Amino acid sequence: MNQTLLEAEAKSQIPDTPAPPERPPAPAHPRFAKPQRIAFVQACWHREVVQEARIAFLAEIEARHVPRSAVDLFEVPGSFEIPLHAQILAKTRRYTAIVAAGLVVDGGIYRHEFVADTVIKALMDVQLRTEVPVFSAVLTPQQFHESAVHVEFFRKHFAIKGVEVAEACAETLLSLERLRGQVAAGIT
């Protein structure tokens, strides 16, 4: 048999592999009328877990037309320090939004529920006082053990929260942009 015939026989014996599924088209996110600048404040406590929120946030916010260069990153020791930094950043009027990320767990001198409640309330106060929206990916799990399984679970969870906080940030900024435009035009 000649070589071409052998190759044809060999190919006929290999089952056809299905083509990989087509990726759905990326969603078309609306563009902003004005440039946005975002401050991302991250607690360093459990950095290997919390950084997953930052990584996912940056990817998602970029997909929503806010370039990576328009996001300034700030690190603080723990979640308890986030509100003061958020307030000072908001008062600069440089940022159209501030995003906070941290993991509050059992231990230390404070009860974790107290710290989490205090941080969330303070972040809300910052945004109401300054009219700069503040978003939180500060999480307080009921149980956190520094085992490999728990750390991996919460890394994945923080990645999901990073996407969610980017979605909320972008949608809120778009909504505020429209609302402020309507107010300026005397429509609202």
User: Which residues on adjacent β-strands are paired with residue 134?
Assistant: 98
Q: Cα separations (Å) of 92 from 69, 126, 152?
A: 18, 13, 37
C-alpha dihedral over 95, 100, 101, 107, to 10 degrees? 150
Q: What is residue 71's three-state secondary structure?
A: strand
Contacts of 172 (CB under 8 A, 6+ apart): 97, 133, 135
Q: Measured between alpha carbons, how far is 101 from 122 in angstroms, rounded to an integer?
A: 14
Query: Phi then psi for 95, rounded to 5 degrees?
Result: -110, 140
Known catalytic residues are 111
